[in-house]
């Protein structure tokens, strides 16, 4: 595995709040989901799992809170080895949001849906309602008495995330959060995910194949291919590696491609990850 341990992604294994240790999982039909997978999550970071469809991203995500259990290997969460006996505790710490938001929405109203998790934890009705209202405020959803299935795709995803936030996990794992959203709702989702790290101190794990999104918000990027992580590191190291991304069925982010095509690479120039950073580099290069 290519691994870069510089700057903000230099971590020790003892700092990991989740450690996936050489996990292999096969589906009942014999299909291999992940193989010998090693992966860690650290405090207050956004880590992206980038790879094409079928690479193993969703399978890994579902191992983080015990929705799936390993055939080989183990998962440790906050120093505790995950097993069937402690899944209820693990799931209070690690919240999971599926790619299909409809699979998490089933109550008569938005408020009922978001209250479901806290009530399931055994909280009193008033405390569950308070948590749900706070979570909906965090994600920016109004109209708590709406019917969930009448919401837009973007609103459904936000309500699904609110339902997890209401349980006050330390880690949020999200599968393709902007997959079918329009640009406006996708930007809203990105702002929410970064605010969960910056304002609420959470760690966020995101499975996606949108390299532009990874460039904009990730603290660490992991490249997933054929059920394993083949490279990980700081975004500027991973997302400018054309050969690596091509080998994993991915493409350079737009900013990295423009930077290279414009011939701006030279020693000492910081590699831009956003359009704003690229424009700053171009401005500095002007005679």
Q: What percent of the chain has pLDDT over 90?
A: 60
Regarding whether 269 and 225 lie in a shared domain, the answer is no
Mean pLDDT of 215-241: 96
Note the pLDDT tens digit of each residue in 37-83.
999 999 999 999 999 988 999 999 999 999 999 999 999 999 999 99
Rounded CA separation 58/176 (Å):
9
Regarding whether 243 and 213 lie in a shared domain, the answer is yes
pLDDT-derived band of residue 7, with 50, 70 and 90 as boundaries? very low
Note the pLDDT tens digit of each residue in 261-274.
998 888 778 899 99
Is 135 domain-assigned?
no
Is 140 domain-assigned?
no
Regarding whether 98 and 29 lie in a shared domain, the answer is yes
- pLDDT, residue 8, reads 46
Regarding whether 61 and 30 lie in a shared domain, the answer is yes
Is 228 domain-assigned?
yes
Is 280 domain-assigned?
yes
Regarding whether 177 and 278 lie in a shared domain, the answer is no
Check pLDDT > 50 for residue 6.
Answer: no
Is 124 domain-assigned?
no
- pLDDT, residue 3, reads 54
Q: List for the chain the helix, strand, coil content (%; round to 5).
A: 40, 20, 35
Regarding whether 39 and 7 lie in a shared domain, the answer is yes
Question: Which domain covers residue 275, as residue numbers?
Answer: 253-287
Is 159 domain-assigned?
no
- pLDDT, residue 266, reads 80
Regarding whether 282 and 216 lie in a shared domain, the answer is no
Answer yes or no: are the C-beta atoms of 46 and 218 closer than 8 Å: yes
Regarding whether 184 and 273 lie in a shared domain, the answer is no
Residue from 68, 71, 1, 69 nearest 39 by CA:
1
Which H or E run includes 40? strand 32-41
Is 148 domain-assigned?
no
What is the domain-level CATH number for residue 26? 3.40.50.300
The total of structural domains in the chain comes to 2
């Amino acid at each position: 595995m290519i691994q870069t341990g510089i700057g903000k992604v230099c971590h020790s294994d003892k700092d990991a709040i989740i450690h996936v240790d050489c996990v292999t999982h096969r589906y009942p039909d014999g299909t291999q989901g992940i193989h010998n997978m090693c992966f860690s999550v650290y405090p207050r970071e956004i880590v992206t799992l980038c790879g094409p469809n079928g690479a193993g991203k969703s399978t890994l995500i579902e191992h983080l809170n015990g929705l799936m259990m390993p055939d080989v290997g183990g998962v440790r969460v906050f120093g505790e080895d995950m097993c069937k006996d402690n899944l209820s505790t693990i799931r209070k710490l690690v919240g999971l949001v599926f790619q299909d938001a409809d699979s998490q929405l089933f109550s008569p109203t938005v408020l009922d849906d978001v209250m479901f998790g806290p009530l399931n934890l055994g909280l009193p009705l008033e405390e569950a309602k308070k948590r749900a209202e706070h979570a909906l405020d965090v994600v920016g959803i109004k109209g708590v008495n709406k019917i969930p299935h009448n919401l837009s795709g973007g609103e459904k995803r936000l309500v699904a995330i609110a339902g997890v936030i209401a349980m006050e996990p330390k880690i949020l794992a999200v599968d393709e959060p902007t997959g079918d959203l329009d640009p406006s709702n996708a930007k809203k989702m990105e702002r929410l995910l970064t605010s969960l790290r910056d304002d609420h101190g959470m760690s966020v794990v995101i499975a996606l194949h949108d390299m532009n999104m990874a460039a904009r918000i990730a603290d660490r990027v992991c490249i997933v291919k054929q059920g394993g992580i083949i490279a990980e590191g700081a975004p500027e190291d991973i997302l400018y590696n054309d050969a690596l991304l091509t080998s994993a069925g991915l493409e350079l982010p737009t900013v990295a491609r423009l930077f290279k095509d414009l011939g701006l690479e030279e020693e000492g120039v910081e590699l831009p990850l956003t359009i704003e950073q690229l424009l700053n580099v171009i401005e500095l290069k002007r005679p």
